[in-house]
Amino acid sequence: MNQILLIVNTRKPAALKLAYKLIGWGQKKVINFVAPSHESALLGLPEYDWSSPSDSVKFGVVLGGDGTFLRAARMVMDYNIPLYGINVGRLGFLVTGDPQKAEEEVERILSGEYRIQKRRVLKGSVTRKGNLVHVLYALNDLVVTKGPLARLIEVESRVNDYFLSLLPADGIIISTPTGSTAYALSAGGPILPPHVDAMVMVPICPHTLYTRTLVLGPDDMISLIPKSDQKEIYLTQDGQLGYELMVKDRIDVSLAEDKSVLTIELPEDNYFDLLREKLQWGNVRIRQTEEEW
């Protein structure tokens, strides 16, 4: 029997509606859906046993937006379960499937009509007074940032342990190519296609006129050391989990060698088509509006 892991944003009625629709369709097609504990209790599905062999499920289907996909990525990172996202959110750079064609797309994947893309993830190690206190993995980004009421923070940055700068800013983003269209893009960073083996360092509102984003290679390591003498400094993981930092903590960030996230693409999927659609490049209506101005 085909077994598929179903990960759902249960706070979105449209995602729940689609989940029930897929489950009903799967029963007719002899396709067995399983789910993590939260979704299984709500949807009445068997709970997936994470200790079972990694090939016990063929792939995972994510119903929601990019935030749901990032949560799913953390779940499967150690299990090599490929993920296919169906967009029941807004922008959807990671969840590219069409909810109107969900059953058709899942059936195509089951028949082998797809390709796998391996996406690099960041590994962040936090050292405090010589002791390792956190090891984090992120598909999108790791961000050192000030608290909501804090002033600018000063962050020392080093590349491969060579001093780079002491930057006064609201924070610094370290992003994967996958995350280059997320927070890093809004802070002025470049767009890197997911197959590019690199990471990006992007300052957030730097209090200087000369600071620029920096693209680094797959073997580089970026180290960030908060220097400001204030309490509210945080490290965020994919914008979803946060960790309080102390002054002089050292955050070493590199592309992970031991973990990655596998994503499923249909044959017609093309990253540059996705960029054009999501960022509305060349949109005729936008051009007409600009001409009216």
C-beta of residue 120 within 8 angstroms of C-beta of residue 96: no
Amino acid at 50: W
Q: Annotated catalytic sites, by residue?
A: 66
C-beta of residue 66 within 8 angstroms of C-beta of residue 93: yes
**Residue 34, both tokens:** 């399983």
